[in-house]
Structure 1
Amino acid sequence: MDSYKLLLNTLAKMLKSRGFMRKGNKFYITKENNCAIIDFQKERGHEPGERTFTINIYIGSERVANFFGSSVKGTPGVELCHWDERVGYLLPQNKDVWWRISDYPDLTQLEKELEQVLVNYCIPEIDNNISDASLEKTWRARFSAGIMHFTEYKFFTALLKSYNRPDWLALATAFIESPLNKNAKRIALDHLEHLQESVEEGRN
């Protein structure tokens, strides 16, 4: 068994003790009816025998998934999730970080380093963002700051609509009317139509 697989097997034991299930290079946990994923992403095109990887975390809201006709129960793919972060931007250096196995002749040293990253940064970040209330708070802040991109807007407004927040329509319309989002206007209008159709369906 190569060093990368040995590393993941060791980390899997620690993550299992904290409630995570494993599927390949990904570790899943369900809380607040939502799903979080810790994903070990290998660099493409690495040399034989070499492994370079980073860690991503994803969160999927069951309510948002249901709105779009899917679910994040069990072990969903990361493409079904609605929030994500690269671990390097959670660390003090606040930049993309990749680990290379060959930089650690003693694999135990790397295991300890990654355990600290997972326990001190990844898991707390998941706990702070996995609820719908936390996602809504995060998205509202990004919306207010004018830094929300279309995909976030789509998930944000779907979440608001699913909870029947009184300002869902005003916020959806404000995004569309903003000159900063003119390139996304057409697809944003299509999404707004979808939101409004869900209102009509709810009345029937």
Structure 2
Amino acid sequence: MKTASDVFAAALRADIEPGLRRLGFVGSRGCFELRDPEVWRLLGIQKSGGSSSSRVRFTVNVMIMDKAVWQEARAEYMKAPARPNPNSVYGQWGRPRRIGALLPGGQDHWWEVSDRTSPERLASGILSAVEGYALPFLRGGAS
């Protein structure tokens, strides 16, 4: 019997990740970027800590960070990764913005997945939100 975790993983692998690549993103495992030589333009898929095999909640985060600023941050915080993670907060240097802030109404938005969720319908909703709201934000350079 499939679980919500199975449905989420299948949607991510079969539909969401390929759809993000068609929109110009590179990456995998919930962390993607639009390549830019000077700025990190990142998108992350963040599962809720309260997710379980029967119910998965997740949201989409976006982050724009100047690469020179990130190098300064790394010089001060040696454990910082080579590339910022769009699902992590980096104090004064940067924090992600949730896609809900970009959607009409500006309310935080989490998708919910159960064992009955259609992976295709789920992916369609995510990709529509990314294409309509996250992508213009990331390409526009607002931070």
Shared fold (TM-score, shorter chain, > 0.5): yes
**Equivalent residue, structure 2, for 1:123:** 135
Per the alignment, do residues 47 and 73 of structure 1 end up closer, same or farther by CA in structure 2, a change over 3 Å counting? closer
For the residue of structure 2 that corresponds to 1:31, the secondary structure is: coil
Corresponding residue to 1:94 among 103, 106, 109: 106
**Equivalent residue, structure 1, for 2:122:** 110
For the residue of structure 1 that corresponds to 2:45, the secondary structure is: strand
Q: Which runs of 5+ in 1 are unaligned?
A: 136-204
Aligned counterparts, 1:43-62, within 5 A = 43-62=48-67
RMSD: 2.7
8 Å CA contact retained: 2:54, 2:115: no
Relative to the length of structure 2, the TM-score reads: 0.76
Aligned counterparts, 1:177-196, within 5 A = none
Corresponding residue to 1:28 among 30, 33, 36: 33
Per the alignment, do residues 86 and 104 of structure 1 end up closer, same or farther by CA in structure 2, a change over 3 Å counting? farther
Query: Matches of 1:75 and 1:121 in 2, distance apart?
Result: 23
1:47 Cα offset (Å): 3.0
Q: Which runs of 5+ in 2 are unaligned?
A: none
8 Å CA contact retained: 2:44, 2:85: no
Higher strand content, 1 or 2: 2
Deviations 1:3-44 (A, max 9, x none): 111111211112112331223111122225211211111111
**Equivalent residue, structure 2, for 1:3:** 7
Greater mean deviation of Cα atoms: 118-127 or 39-48:
39-48
Deviations 1:168-193 (A, max 9, x none): xxxxxxxxxxxxxxxxxxxxxxxxxx
1:74 Cα offset (Å): 6.7
Query: Matches of 1:20 and 1:74 in 2, distance apart?
Result: 18
Higher helix content, 1 or 2: 1
Query: Matches of 2:81 and 2:65 in 1, distance apart?
Result: 9
For the residue of structure 2 that corresponds to 1:115, the secondary structure is: helix
Per the alignment, do residues 15 and 112 of structure 1 end up closer, same or farther by CA in structure 2, a change over 3 Å counting? same
Sequence identity percentage: 22
Corresponding residue to 1:76 among 73, 84, 96: 84
For the residue of structure 2 that corresponds to 1:2, the secondary structure is: helix
1:62 Cα offset (Å): 1.0
For the residue of structure 2 that corresponds to 1:96, the secondary structure is: coil
Query: Matches of 2:57 and 2:100 in 1, distance apart?
Result: 14
8 Å CA contact retained: 2:43, 2:62: yes
8 Å CA contact retained: 2:42, 2:63: yes
